[in-house]
Amino acid sequence: MGLYATNALFPCITLAIVSPRRFIVIPLILICIAIMVAIPVAASRGKLHMAGYIGVALAAFCSAMILGKISGIRGVSGTIIGLLLSVLFFLAISAVLGSIAALVFYKPPPESEQTK
């Protein structure tokens, strides 16, 4: 009864956990979360300038859309190449979300004595 109720309420979560590809999905989720956390942490330390995070977000978004389109082509989907392109798509989308979050947490680096 419990599995059927889960299937009715959260079919995508059940498919991700119960499916044979869970060995791909669970590490992918963890890596995407790590990317989405690492980019704002770097922004809070002032590692890159504001335009850099915007550029990373735009470049990652464009590449993610291209990768998603290619992985959905009929001859590519369902193959190992399609799976790899899908993984790259999710990694790029997590970089986009991390870069957008970095704009919120961005802290400019402190001014040095020479620039004053």
| Token duo for residue 54 | 């915007």
Above 60 in pLDDT, residue 8? no
Burial 22-45 (b: 16+ CB within 10 A, else e): eeeeeebeeebeebbeebbebbee
Instruction: Write the pLDDT tens digit of every residue in 94-112.
Output: 999 999 999 888 887 777 6
pTM of the predicted model as reported, rounded to 2 decimal places = 0.75
Exposed / middle / buried, residue 6 (Cβ in 10 Å: 0-12, 13-18, 19+): middle
Predicted local distance difference test score (pLDDT) of residue 66: 95
Within 13 Å and on the Cβ side, how many CA atoms surround 20? 0
Q: Structural domain boundaries of the chain?
A: 21-105
Helix, strand and coil percent figures for the chain, each rounded to 5: 75, 0, 25
Predicted local distance difference test score (pLDDT) of residue 1: 46
Above 80 in pLDDT, residue 67? yes
pLDDT (mean) for 17-24: 68
Instruction: Write the pLDDT tens digit of every residue in 32-56.
Output: 999 999 999 988 887 788 888 899 9
Distance CA 4, CA 2 (A): 5
Percent of the chain with pLDDT over 70: 78
